[in-house]
Amino acid sequence: MEQPVSILTSPSVSAPFFPHGEPEEVGCSAELLEAAHQTIQQRYPKMHSFLMVRKGQLIAEKYYGGYHPNALNDLRSATKSFTSILFGMAVHKGELPPIDTPVLPFLKKHATRRIHPLLSRVTFRHLLTMTSGFTWQTGKKLGEPLIHRFHRNQKWASFALSLPVSEEAMGSFQYRSTDSHLLSVALSEATGMDAYTYARHHLFSPLEIHHSAWTPSPEGHSMGHVGLYLTSRDMAKFGQCCLNEGKWNGQQIMPQEWLQTALTSQTAGYPAFGDYGFQWWTGKIDGQSFSLAHGHGGQQIYLFPELDAVIIFTQDSHVSRWKNPRMLLEKFILKAVEL
């Protein structure tokens, strides 16, 4: 399911445009941002890019290991946050039902004879917040041993819906990628378009995102939990649009009401990562509130609304162990912002 290397690194595609500025022009320390860059070079050998946007201006942009502005990044689980936004757009347009609607009637054609009796109580809100209660296994670092069985199955939606539901676990957070994929399946059923096609029409086109890829499941649905590939600048565009309450170049692209809910805590998450909104992590770093789209290996879109800042990290996704760049935020990047 991996994309060809030529697609990921092709230099022939024009780099996405993003307004540039100097750190000092938007109240940031160039010295501390340079210190973050130097630390990346010394301590983060798997880093691919580091970008910072403040007040709508791209003030830091560094690439490593042969990556460049028009290279595609494997977002891994940061894909989940895009799935959430697309789902919210469809709800806002009336293409999907309200989020407290039960999932089963909507996805019944994918359900098997092994339907658990409690499946009828699982709603789209449960999927969005990963509180569905489906039986799953999750490691301390978000590892999912059952994900390999899921990926080997030829009917992903049926697999996800056939999982037993625990009444005790329903309503409590557990990181579970199958919940995210079912959101993508529901989007396809409602709109007649896979999530990638829907994104190209309603999200990527108005954001002027032209260079992308999104891997499908065996059934043809866009993978709701992983599989999206974007350039670092386009990741920053997405983050900036979220920070701007869904507006881009004066156009309302994402529903403001959905963002207000999706980007804030809806359930207690895991201490090492934060609380959870609608497929977004939330919390505070050094007293600053953040929302985070996070993927394995260090694919991260940080939103800091009080600082009017978006910070992007991308790293090698094909690793079993990786170094979280959060230290760079705490030691250099957040301190670079003059309040």
pLDDT at residue 17 greater than cutoff 60: yes
pLDDT at residue 12 greater than cutoff 60: no
pLDDT at residue 172 greater than cutoff 70: yes
Which is nearest to 89 in space by CA: 208, 201, 221? 201
Intervals of CATH 3.40.710.10 along the chain: 5-78+194-336
Which one is predicted more confidently, 212 or 14?
Answer: 212
Which residues 6+ apart lie within 8 Å of 128 measured at CB?
84, 87, 99, 179, 183, 262, 266, 278, 279
Which is nearest to 300 in space by CA: 286, 287, 285? 285
DSSP string of 210-271? -SEEEPBPTTSPBPSSS-EEE-HHHHHHHHHHHHTTTEETTEE-S-HHHHHHHTS-SEEEET
Place of tokens 């094909």: 318
Angle at CA of residue 76, ends 75 and 77, nearest 5°: 110
Is the domain 5-78+194-336 a CATH 3.30.465.10 member? Answer: no
Average pLDDT of the residues of the chain = 94
C-beta separation of 280 from 293 below 8 A: yes
pLDDT at res. 11 = 53
pLDDT digits (tens, 9 = 90+) for 266-280: 999 999 999 999 999
pLDDT at res. 7 = 43
pLDDT at residue 2 greater than cutoff 90: no
Q: What is the mean pLDDT of residues 287-313?
A: 97
Banded pLDDT at 16 (limits 50, 70, 90): confident
pLDDT at residue 3 greater than cutoff 50: no
Between CA 65 and CA 14 the distance in angstroms is 19
Place of tokens 């994104």: 199
Between CA 41 and CA 186 the distance in angstroms is 42
Q: What is the mean pLDDT of residues 231-243?
A: 98
Q: What is the mean pLDDT of residues 242-266?
A: 97
Threshold 0.85, pTM exceeds: yes
pLDDT at res. 175 = 98
C-beta separation of 220 from 193 below 8 A: no
Q: What is the mean pLDDT of residues 206-212?
A: 96
pLDDT digits (tens, 9 = 90+) for 68-125: 999 999 999 999 999 999 999 999 999 999 999 999 999 999 998 778 999 999 999 9
